[in-house]
Each structure stands twice: as C-alpha cells, then as structure tokens.
Amino acid sequence: MQMNTKIIDMDENSIDINKMKSAADIIKKGGLVAFPTETVYGLGANALDEDAVKKIFLAKGRPQDNPLIVHVADFNIENFVEEVPDIARTLMNKFWPGPLTIILKKSKLIPDTTSAGLDSVGIRMPKNKIALNLIKLSGCPIAAPSANISGRPSPTVISRCIEDLDGKVDCIIGGDKSNVGVESTVIDCTADIPCVLRPGGVTLEMLQEVNKDIYIDPAVMGKSIGNIKPKAPGMKYKHYAPKAQVRIIMGQTEKTVEKINKMVQNYRGVKVGVMCTDETKEMYNCDEIISLGSRKDLASVAQNLFEVLRSFDDIGVDIVLSEAFEERGIGIAIMNRLKKSAAFDIIKI
Ligand code: TXA
Ligand code: MG
C-alpha cells in the first residue's frame, strides 16, 4: 500500500518542537517515523505496541525472526527488563547516550513481536538530539531497525531513507549525515561475561577497559565456524549489500593495488568499480574509483562506507573491488560490514 510520506527537515542544533510534536503524534498513533541517529538512520514505531511494530517488518521486508532494538531517552529502563546487572549499568553510564545496544532479559511489557520471540531485548540510548526528542515527546520507547529495505546498506543520510521508504512510512525526519556510519555495537549482558554480538561504534578495546574479559562472539567475523550460529539473529542474513557484487582483496598495499588493477583489466563486458583509500586512489586504472577516506582516519572510513556502497549502485557498477582494513578498533566493525556486503568473497594475496 502506497502512502503519503511526510518529509521533515530538521537541524539537530535548533530543533523545531512543533514539527517534532507532529512526528511524535504519529508514533503515539501507531505509525512509522524514520529518524536520524548518530550511527545510521532508524525506522521507528512504539516498541510497546505490537501492531505498530508489525508495520516496521512489513515496510522493510524484514524477516520476522530478527529482533528490533528498543531506543530509550532515559536511564530508567527497569520496566522493560527483568533486571539490570551491575556490568550493564556500568556500560550504560559509560557509553550512553551512544552507539551501544545492551541485551538484557526482557520484561512482559516488551511484546514478542519486538523481541522476535526471544526472551531478551536490546536497549540503546542514541546520541542524536532529534532521536532523543522524538522518544521523549512520544512518551514511549521506540523500536527501530536501520531505515533501509532489508538487506541493503543502512542509510546514513536522509536521501537514502527517502529512496528506500518513501510511500511506505508515515514520516521521515532528516538531520545531518550520521556521525558513526555503522550501526551500534550489540553486547549481550544476559550471561556473566558480556559478549559482543555485533561490532560497532563502541570498540572492543573501549569495552575491555571496563571489563577485560569482554569478548566478541566467535561466529561474528567468519562466514560460519563449524556449526556455531551467531547469537544476534540479524547477523546471519545477507546484509549491507549493494546491487553490485562486492569482492575484497586483502594483502599488503602495493600487492593489493597490483592485484586489483590486474582484475580490472581481466573483466570483460561488466562495469567494475574500485573502493579504495585516499592513500591509493591515484594508483588505479579504472573508470569508477571511490575513496572511503584516509587509512589514518578509520572513523571517517566507517562514516562513508554505506554511502559509498550505495553510490556504486547509482553509477550502475556490476562489480566492486575493495581494499581491506586492519581488524582493530573501529576497523573490526568496518570489516564485519564489508565482509557481509561481499558475502565473504575475500581474495587473500
Ligand atoms: O545503530 C543501530 O543499532 C541502529 C540505529 C537505528 O539505532 N539500529 C539497528 O537495528 O542497526 P537493526 O535492526 O538493523 O539491527 C539490530 C541487530 C540485529 O542484528 C539483531 O539481530 C540484533 O541487533 N538484536 C536485537 N535484539 C536482539 C536480542 N534480543 N538478542 C540478540 N540480538 C539482538
Ligand atoms: Mg539493519
């Protein structure tokens, strides 16, 4: 069903309260509102309203066994969870508002549709002022997955939300380009030792400063290790994929450039693009070259990643050959998304 989507432009630093109230009214009435967060744009509905949440799954074409993150604007989350263990409280105090989603045992208030039938729920307080305002004015926690059609790279600018969701949701609020660019870190705090289910803006190194035993779910980085399944249901799906086929070339810089140039030459009858870095962008012989930014600033590489993947689709490239990044700091999240977008097609040289 095609609907009339209201587009609201908003400046995070001078929020128009009346416009925000009109968006909050939509949430209150069980509608869908896409909004900016510091990680990526989210598609929100009242997390406590089963019918509203169902509409999110429909609009995105999202598999129903993939739980939604519940966004809050308040540290009092006791109503939504069975208990808040000390480690979770410490992590909240240190990283909220910010790109950290904490998984806890859910209370009865959280409908099964929101948690996709799991007995746990992921909760996060976003850092963006528009997002926080929307949650406060709505008077309820907001369930929000990334505001893309399922499987596509998450939107980090309003134009990509419009591209994916115009006519499918009630309202899209635009702000600036998302700061972090990759989704929040998801950490499971239901066990004694917290485990990272999805790497993101809060890095493993930052988490280990709080508790050195925090680790990353071994199923996260690899295609699949034996029969270990990822604990975050969303991590098993094809994800972050542009229409083009993505291939990662991993190795020492000069050899990578040489290999990619050779591959570009060998492809016939297909349009090839190279996804590279500022340090190497002059070294390629290819019509379509886009840099993700400098290797010295991996935060900006993370910020640009999804937008660059989508730009290759705009150009109509069939194959994207990408450089790889060191799996350290935010590089872990970058490589996690990149590997998924490439369906684990990695050429090691
Ligand atoms: O940065 C973000 O987290 C963005 C913005 C909008 O806040 N949201 C986001 O939501 O990325 P989504 O739905 O695209 O990804 C949620 C991820 C999925 O991999 C899902 O399986 C996992 O979190 N997840 C959510 N609740 C979970 C739970 N109770 N147990 C395990 N994994 C969970
Ligand atoms: Mg998503």
pLDDT, tens digit only, all 349 positions of the chain? 689 999 999 999 999 999 999 999 999 999 999 999 999 999 999 999 999 999 999 999 999 999 999 999 999 999 999 999 999 999 999 999 999 999 999 999 999 999 999 999 999 999 999 999 999 999 999 999 999 999 899 999 999 999 999 999 999 999 999 999 999 999 999 999 999 999 999 999 999 999 999 999 988 877 655 556 667 776 666 667 778 999 999 999 999 999 999 999 999 999 999 999 999 999 999 999 999 999 999 999 999 999 999 999 999 999 999 999 999 999 999 999 999 999 999 999 9
Amino acid symbol at 142: I
Closest-lying ligand 1 atom to the alpha carbon of residue 115:
29
CA distance 40 to 42: 6
Q: Where are the beta strands (DSSP E) in the chain?
A: 6-9, 33-35, 42-46, 69-71, 100-105, 120-124, 142-143, 171-174, 185-188, 195-198, 215-216, 245-250, 272-276, 288-291, 319-323, 346-348
Is the shortest distance between the CB of 39 and ligand 1 below 6 Å? yes
Binding site for L-threonine, residues?
A: 39, 71, 124, 184
Question: What number of H helices and E strands is found in the chain?
Answer: 10, 16
Look at ligand 1, atom 13, and give the residue with the nearest C-alpha. Answer: 145
CA distance 136 to 162: 24
CA distance 51 to 53: 5
C-alpha pair distances (Å), 70 with each of 117, 157, 167, 283: 14, 21, 24, 45
pLDDT of res. 229: 66
Give the number of whichever ligand sits closest to the CA of residue 232.
1
Binding site for ATP, residues?
A: 62, 66, 144, 146, 154, 198, 240
Distance in Å, CA 334 to ligand 2 centroid: 14
What's the pTM? Answer: 0.95
Give the number of whichever ligand sits closest to the CA of residue 67.
1
Distance in Å, CA 152 to ligand 2 centroid: 8
For the chain, the C-alpha Rg in angstroms (whole number) is 20
Give the angle 297-300-306 at the CA atoms, nearest 5°: 140
Which of 110, 146, 152 shows the shortest CA–CA distance to 126?
Answer: 146
* Domains recognised in the chain with CATH numbers: 6-221 (3.90.870.10), 245-348 (3.40.50.11030)
